[in-house]
């Protein structure tokens, strides 16, 4: 087997891509910033993540 056929080359590219994706996700998981709500986001505000806009229970009740 001196020559690499197209199917083997394609399979190696797919496996290498999958390995790259998994390694990238693992690195992002361990480099999480605590101000981002525990996610691996890249562009969130720390202030926005700490003070979300919630609807209070009083706003959901019907006036009687």
Q: What is the pLDDT of residues 3-29, one digit of tens each?
A: 778 899 999 999 999 999 999 999 988
Q: What local confidence, expressed as pLDDT, does residue 57 receive? A: 75
Tens-place pLDDT, residues 48-60: 555 567 777 777 7
Per-residue model confidence (pLDDT) at position 55 = 75
Q: Which of 43, 25, 27, 24 is nearest to 35 (CA)?
A: 43
What's the predicted TM-score (pTM) here?
0.46
| Residue 26 CA: distances (Å) to CA of 21, 31, 49 | 9, 9, 23
Between residues 31 and 47, which one has the greater pLDDT?
Answer: 31
pLDDT given for residue 45 in this prediction: 56
């Amino acid at each position: 087997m001196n020559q690499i056929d197209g199917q083997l080359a394609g399979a190696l590219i797919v496996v290498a891509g999958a390995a790259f994706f998994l390694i990238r996700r693992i690195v992002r998981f361990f480099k999480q910033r605590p101000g981002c709500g525990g996610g691996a986001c890249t562009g969130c505000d720390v202030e926005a993540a700490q003070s979300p806009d919630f609807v209070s229970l009083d706003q959901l009740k019907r006036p009687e």
